Amino acid sequence: MSFRTSTLQALFEHLAGILDDVVLEGDGGLEIHGINGLREAGPGELSFLSNPRYGGDLAETSAGAVIVPHDALQPANGASLIRTGVPYLALASALSFLADTEALEAGVHPGAHVHPEAELAAGVTVMAGGYVGAGTVVGGGSVIYPGTVVMGRCRIGAEVLLYPGVVVREGCVLGDRVILHPNVCIGGDGFGFAQHEGRHIKIPQVGNVIIEDDVEIGACSCVDRATLGSTVIGRGSKIDDLVMIGHGGKVGAHTLIVAQSGMAGSAELEEGVVLGARAGVLGHLTVGAGSKLYSRAHVTKSLPPGSVVSGNPARPHAKQLKHEALLGKMEALMARVAELEREVAALKE
């Protein structure tokens, strides 16, 4: 929403320090006041083209400067261009460079509730109404927003952001640079009950949750604590809103889990798996490394590495598409069978 001002040259130099292949074409002295979409950006703003289907918007943009792929055409308004093979990545860096990040009031606010036996490193911020329990350790530069509760005996890494309303229950572990969005719940009890004479007897959930470095989890998502041992979210994984990770689940490194997906207890995603929206994995199954689940895929058997599946029950996506196509031919097939019946009847006479 709010940006600081920079010359295009200064921005270019920042990007050139991160990316090998950036090229500036145009007026380095241009003052950039913000970043906006191709349709919305004005002469003092930077925009970007990542998806080639928006090429038409590039042609007609009013942006003063645009981050574009190497082969993009010059827009009609003669905008300055920053060319790169990775425009979306360049945008990420440009946003970090230009966004005017809010200066938080560091330290522990008098309205925060930090237990005397909690241990906060230098530079930790606990805002009004934030809670840190006994025996919990929080690393330097981490921020606990208002209304966020970290119960006792947790270990929270450095540079962690726990947005408002987050709950981290007892004994959980978060790595460095973890980001939990509002109302995320880490370490709620797993759903474990022994059936006995029609009653459900609670299995105490004495495990915890371990979230490794650089994980980000979206609003209102839940990662349940293990019955025994740990539920684990591997480093670099990114989880969207309203996702449910069951007790004892193992999520490998660098996975992507899109909104409203879920994994039942003791399921495992190996490294680099992608779950589309509302995908689901039943309990005790393994999804092999690098697999991709389309939206609403419902995995009922373990999948080998590199699987690409969709549907319920999930099957190879190509097969699923064929099934759907066959359904479209059903009506014609019924007509053909009726015609055959007529012809055979005629032949028999």
Which CB, 119 or 170, lies closer to its own copies? 170
Cβ closest to its own copies, residue 75 vs residue 218: 218
Cβ distance to its own copies smaller for residue 122 or 332: 332
Nearest alpha carbon to residue 73 among 56, 94, 90, 88: 56
Only one of the segments 4-12, 55-63, 68-76, 270-278 lies at the binding site for its own copies (rule: CB under 8 A); that segment is 270-278
Give the separation between CA 143 and CA 130, rounded to whole angstroms: 10
Which position among 181, 196, 247, 323 bears the catalytic label? Answer: 247
- The span from the CA of 261 to the CA of 279, in Å, is 5
- Tell me if 267 contacts its own copies by CB under 8 A: no
Q: How many CA atoms lie within 13 A of 42 on its CB side?
A: 4
* Annotation marks residue 200 as catalytic: no
Tell me, what amino acid is at 251? V
* 222 binds its own copies per the rule CB under 8 A: yes
Q: Give the binding range for its own copies (CB under 8 A) out of 20-28, 57-65, 71-79, 88-96.
A: 88-96
> Are 150 and 162 spatial neighbours (Cβ–Cβ below 8 Å)?
yes
For the beta carbon of residue 302, count every other beta carbon within 10 angstroms: 15
DSSP helix/strand/coil, 347? helix
The piece of 9-17, 56-64, 76-84, 162-170 that touches its own copies (CB under 8 A) is 162-170
**What's the min distance (Å) between Cβ of 72 and its own copies?**
17
| Residue 7: CB minimum distance to its own copies, A | 20
- Minimum distance from residue 345 beta carbon to its own copies (Å): 9
Binding mask 171-210 for its own copies (x = CB under 8 A): x-------x-xxx-x--xx-x-xx-x-xxxxxxx-xxx--
Which 294-333 positions form the footprint of its own copies (CB under 8 A)? Answer: 295-296, 298, 312-313, 322-324, 326-327, 329-331, 333
| Pick 119 or 189: Cβ nearer its own copies | 189
Which of helix, strand or coil describes residue 270?
Answer: coil
Note the helical H segments in the chain: 8-16, 55-59, 87-98, 317-348
Q: Which is nearer to its own copies, 122 or 209 (CB)?
A: 209
Distance CA 96, CA 46 (A): 13
Residue 17 vs 29, nearer CB to its own copies: 17
Q: How many Å apart are CA 276 and CA 343, to the nearest integer? A: 49
Report residue 250: phi and psi, to 5°: -125, 120
Number of residues lying near its own copies (CB under 8 A): 112
Range list of H helices, 25-121: 55-59, 87-98
C-beta of 21: minimal distance to its own copies in Å? 13
CB 152 within 8 A of CB 170: yes
For its own copies, what does the binding mask look like between residues 109 and 148, x meaning CB under 8 A? x-x-x-------------xxx-x-------------xxxx
Q: Which residue has the tokens 């809103």?
A: 241
DSSP state, residue 53: G
x/- map, 1-40, its own copies, by CB under 8 A = xxx-------------------------------xxx--x
Please state, in angstroms and rounded to a whole number, the distance separating the CA atoms of residues 122 and 107. Answer: 8
Minimum separation from the CB atom of position 226 to its own copies (A): 9
Catalytic positions, written as ranges: 247
